[in-house]
């Protein structure tokens, strides 16, 4: 019958299929074999081991500062140790949390994105008992915090944020700001479900009580922190003391605000002309229409610009950079001139 394969042709096809199965990708890649590695798109490995170790070293300092600060504030011995720095997806982080638990959603200005600081009830209630002057009790009953307890717990949380800012102060000036506090992990949405995050796990020991804290940082925040660490392209910390001091000065100067003034022009008027000014009067400036104006940074002219409009607001487009002002020369005292002797 036309269109039917003979037994010999079927056997030949089966033999070719078995040979192709034994050598995957050989026919499609011109005979070259490639190693195949499994990749989980739900848990992408975005951060290298060196970067995770650097984050672990930084947050070891955070744990030490937190132990000292909370022990002094609550007036009891608190030991905090770092347990792990683990890359996860945000879904896995939320799925592993107990319910209820206390989660603070925090904005770390000037960084983009938000982070989540989670405290287990086994940490919150012993701390709250010490703050209220109570005694430590075992077998803490897990329950949601009341509105009053949430307000009172903001004070130790502020100490935690101060320690976090102090931890990173050598690299970036962070200004933590509380966005909201949640007790249901499903409502503390700081990232999308499959977003890669780095979770810093902390062991907290309060007397005989033991609990866990965790700091969840989405990849947006971690990327910026690694950039300030100088590890956006791997480990590159081999810098001399002069380079380190220069980087610190530059980071300290970046958030400093400078007044930038676009001077449209000037006009010289007499006291009488100023006194006679009224509604709809026109003052003529010394700048011609269509010419560049001077843009000052502080008291020094820094740029030349052209006046325009951007999204219904006045704007200035920089067209040239002014020469920097000459540096003042060092003062060298002149030698005294001796009076001439009388002839």
CB burial of 193-226 (b: ≥16 within 10 Å; e: otherwise) equals eebbbbbbbbbbbbeebebbbbbbbbbbbbbbbb
Find how far residue 48's CA is from the centre of its chain.
Answer: 18
More confident residue, 234 or 303: 303
CB 98 within 8 A of CB 125: no
Write down the pLDDT at residue 244: 59
* Mean pLDDT on 262-285: 87
Statement: residue 245 has pLDDT above 80: no
Statement: residue 45 has pLDDT above 70: no
Domain boundaries, the chain: 49-228, 259-265+290-321
More confident residue, 73 or 336: 73
pLDDT, tens digit, 9 for 90 and up, residues 198-222: 999 999 888 778 888 899 999 889 9
Write down the pLDDT at residue 242: 57
Q: Among the residues of the chain, which ranges form H helices? A: 7-22, 49-74, 90-95, 121-131, 147-152, 154-167, 219-228, 241-253, 271-275
Write down the pLDDT at residue 341: 55
pLDDT, tens digit, 9 for 90 and up, residues 282-338: 888 888 887 888 888 888 888 888 888 877 788 888 888 887 766 555 455 555 555
Q: How far apart are CA 55 and CA 237, in angstroms?
A: 14
CB 307 within 8 A of CB 293: yes
Q: What are phi and psi of 70, to 5 degrees?
A: -70, -35
Write down the pLDDT at residue 30: 47
Which of 103-107, 118-122, 228-232, 255-259 is predicted most confidently? 103-107
Write down the pLDDT at residue 313: 82
More confident residue, 24 or 59: 59
pTM over 0.95: no
Write down the pLDDT at residue 237: 45
Average model confidence (pLDDT) for the chain?
79
Neighbours of 39 (CB within 10 A): 8
Copy the structure tokens of residue 228: 């300030």
* Mean pLDDT on 213-237: 76
Report in angstroms the alpha-carbon separations of 270 from 46, 267, 274, 283, 285.
68, 10, 6, 12, 14
Closest CA to 201 of 310, 262, 116: 116
Statement: residue 82 has pLDDT above 70: yes
pLDDT, tens digit, 9 for 90 and up, residues 134-182: 665 656 667 787 888 888 888 888 888 999 999 998 888 888 888 888 8
Write down the pLDDT at residue 98: 84
Write down the pLDDT at residue 22: 54
* Mean pLDDT on 236-250: 59
Q: Is 49-228 CATH 3.40.1550.10? A: yes
Task: Give the DSSP letter string of 175-214.
Answer: EEEEEEEESSGGG--SS-TT-EEEEEEEEEEETTEEEEEE
In the DSSP assignment, the letter for residue 92 is H
Report in angstroms the alpha-carbon separations of 144 from 167, 183, 270, 343.
31, 7, 73, 105
Which residue's structure tokens are 């002219």?
A: 301
Q: How far apart are CA 234 and CA 228, in angstroms?
A: 12
More confident residue, 241 or 181: 181
Neighbours of 108 (CB within 10 A): 22
CB 251 within 8 A of CB 173: yes
Report in angstroms the alpha-carbon separations of 87 from 56, 140, 192, 340.
12, 30, 15, 85
Taking each helix axis from N to C end, the angle separating 49-74 and 121-131, rounded to the nearest 10 degrees, works out to 30
In the DSSP assignment, the letter for residue 302 is E
Write down the pLDDT at residue 31: 45
């Amino acid at each position: 019958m036309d269109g039917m394969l003979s037994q010999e042709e079927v056997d030949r096809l089966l033999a070719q299929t078995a040979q192709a199965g034994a050598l995957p990708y050989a026919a499609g890649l011109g005979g070259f074999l490639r190693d195949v590695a499994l990749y989980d798109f739900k848990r992408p490995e975005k951060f290298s081991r060196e970067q995770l170790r650097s984050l672990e070293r930084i947050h070891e300092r955070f744990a030490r500062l937190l132990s000292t600060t909370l022990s002094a504030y609550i007036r009891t011995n608190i030991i905090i140790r770092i347990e792990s720095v683990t890359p996860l997806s945000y879904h896995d982080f939320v799925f592993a949390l107990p319910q209820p638990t206390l989660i603070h959603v925090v904005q770390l200005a000037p960084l983009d994105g938000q982070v989540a600081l989670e405290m287990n009830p086994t940490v919150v209630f012993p701390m709250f008992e010490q703050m209220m002057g109570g005694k430590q009790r075992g077998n803490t009953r897990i329950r949601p915090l009341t509105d009053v307890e949430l307000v009172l717990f903001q004070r130790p949380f502020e100490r935690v944020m101060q320690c976090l800012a102090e931890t990173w102060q050598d690299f970036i000036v962070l200004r933590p700001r509380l966005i909201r506090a949640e007790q249901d992990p499903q409502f503390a949405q700081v990232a999308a479900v499959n977003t890669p995050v780095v979770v810093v796990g902390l062991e907290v020991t309060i007397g005989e009580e033991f609990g866990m804290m965790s700091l969840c940082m989405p990849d947006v925040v971690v990327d910026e922190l690694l950039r300030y660490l100088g590890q956006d392209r791997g480990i590159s910390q081999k810098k001399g003391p002069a380079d380190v001091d220069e980087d610190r000065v530059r980071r300290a100067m970046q958030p400093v605000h400078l007044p930038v003034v676009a001077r449209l022009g000037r006009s010289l008027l007499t006291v009488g002309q100023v006194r006679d000014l009224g509604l709809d009067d026109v003052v003529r400036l010394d700048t011609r229409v269509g010419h560049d104006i001077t843009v000052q940074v502080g008291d020094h002219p820094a740029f030349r610009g052209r006046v325009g409009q951007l999204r219904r607001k006045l704007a200035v487009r920089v067209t040239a950079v002014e020469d920097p002002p000459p540096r003042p020369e060092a003062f060298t005292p002149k030698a005294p001139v001796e009076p001439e002797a009388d002839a």
